[in-house]
Amino acid sequence: MRIFKPMFVAVLATVTLVSCGSIKNLEVPTMDTTVNIEPKKGAISEEQFNQWAHADLVTDTIPGISLDKAYKFLEGKTGTPIVVAVIDSGIDIEHEDLKDEVWTNPKEIAGNKIDDDKNGYVDDIHGWNFLGGNGVAAPEQLEITRIVAKLNPRFEGKTIDDISDDEKVEFEKYQKYLKAYEASSSKHFKTMNRLVQIGENFAAIKKFLGKNSFTIEDLQAIKTEDQKLQAQIGDILGLMLRGLDEKAYLEYYETQKKNKNFDFDFNGRAIVGDNPTDINDTNYGNPYVIGSVEDESHGTHVSGIILATRNNGVGMDGVVNNVKLMSVRAVPDGDERDKDVALAIRYAVDNGAKVINMSFGKSFSPYRNWVFDAIKYAEKHDVLLVHAAGNDNKDIDVKDNWPNDSSDKINEFADNVLTVGAISVNYNEKLPATFSNYGQKNVDIFAPGVQIYSTIPQNSYAKYSGTSMASPETAGVAALIRSYYPQLSASQVKHIIMNSGTKLNMKVFKPTSRGQEPELVDFSTLSVTGRIVNAYNALVLADRMVNKR
């Protein structure tokens, strides 16, 4: 590994005017933020690790976003309150570290069952739930399952010889979709078969012993000539010796039974009651934005990263102060519907959000044009969308990952989407998260996304990993800029974050699946910028642009 000598360069390029007049006509200069420092040796404390994403690379040699340094820069400055929308699975807006930051619709009267502000959503006090239900889970199929299920009545069990010339093109597409479905579902069905087998083994042993439960000692004392029973005992004994008891097994089995990702016959919209193929059918959902405990865990964690109340002595500190959280529930346990995403974006825009976090994504998007139109709508209304790059360790310059701001992976149709990959705490060749998607054209920048400590339901906290965590770290920085420098447009904020990120000229392991041989590449090849988000640098650049320094 290359060892860097201590050196830090932070030189701003000259601000260039595109035309006279509004601050929105300023180009965004590129900031030279190349960092060459030698990593420190030794472990960091638990307290440091819980907030490692906020650390400063130069001071701490931890590749965080330099948040403490950013707030020192902001001392004496006053921000403007803004709204940040989180489109996710649901959010525990009653959490001790979030409740004081929740957005309230000033034009709506709670509980009167009247659409007071005439926005089409009755009693939307804190946001909207496009998934339907009141405090219940929201399972869904994967998009590939929905696609294959739709085509099965026409093509299932047929060969090319059974297909008319008019349908051969569609049949060939079906074959590709079916192959993708089988690749995605094979692990799940193998897992379910194994769980069923384990259940049968538990039942057989209990029947043999004549009791409803048993211990490791009971298993070890069994004497039998029945070879099948011997195998069943050996299987369960091995599991129990590794810490699995029947209660834990049953809990996991029930969880997996609820998984409808690959169920052709499941109708995830029954609880909602809309037509998911009609974008004009908008009268659905309800104001219950919290969801069920299992559903809201992801959205609650994401929200805490952005704006958990700072300096209150509780839990942890979010990235940004001076903002309000709008909860928009549109992400189920499965793939989100294109229609829900499109309407969720529009809802957030229409109700005043200036930054929208979108920690979700999928490989197939049959109604992507609806989402494209919503992204353009957000751009027209000067709203920045921050999107997680995805967790499939794939090159999304080649592989599909929706939603995005390019229909062909080359040309962007809007300039208000920031796509974020994930890095780890490791300031070495293991810097990129092994799971993170990447792409020199379609991932804009990287941010901390491994073992990120944040809020989860019922006043609890936990460490999660994913580009889902890197995205809100970045959305928080975007909100910080928009709060303290409201003159800047969404596009400018996007490019400020990109152009001011910490630039690392180092070799790293390209994200790969487990078992694959790691490949050393230049970090710069994994994203458009070759940078990681830096809140301090971004604020310095924003300040110099606004004040024309």
Which residues are CB-neighbours of 463 under 8 A, at least 6 positions away?
50, 451, 452, 453, 454
Q: Which residues pair with 503 in a beta bridge?
A: 34, 531
Distance CA 481, CA 351 (A): 20
The active-site residue out of 126, 298, 301, 495 is 298
Distance CA 202, CA 282 (A): 49
Closest CA to 480 of 459, 500, 497, 457: 497
95 a catalytic residue: no
The identity of residue 139, as a single letter, is P
The identity of residue 349, as a single letter, is V
Torsion of CA 64, 67, 68, 72, to 10 degrees: 140
Q: Looking at 210-226, list the stretches that DSSP marks H as alpha helix, in order from N- to C-terminal side.
A: 216-221
The active-site residue out of 359, 468, 471, 489 is 468
Which residues are CB-neighbours of 38 under 8 A, at least 6 positions away?
3, 4, 5, 6, 61
88 a catalytic residue: yes
Give residue 522's Cα distance to chain centre.
25
DSSP string, 322-338: SEEEEEEE---BSPPPH
468 a catalytic residue: yes
- CB atoms under 10 Å from CB of 377, counted, come to 16
What's the half-sphere exposure (Cβ side, CA atoms, 13 Å) at 133? 19
Distance CA 518, CA 376 (A): 38
The active-site residue out of 56, 88, 335, 340 is 88
Distance CA 377, CA 370 (A): 11
DSSP 22: S
What's the half-sphere exposure (Cβ side, CA atoms, 13 Å) at 548? 9
Across the chain, how many H-helices and E-strands are there? 14, 17
Which residues are CB-neighbours of 402 under 8 A, at least 6 positions away?
338, 361, 362, 363, 364, 365, 368, 371
Catalytic residues: 88, 298, 468
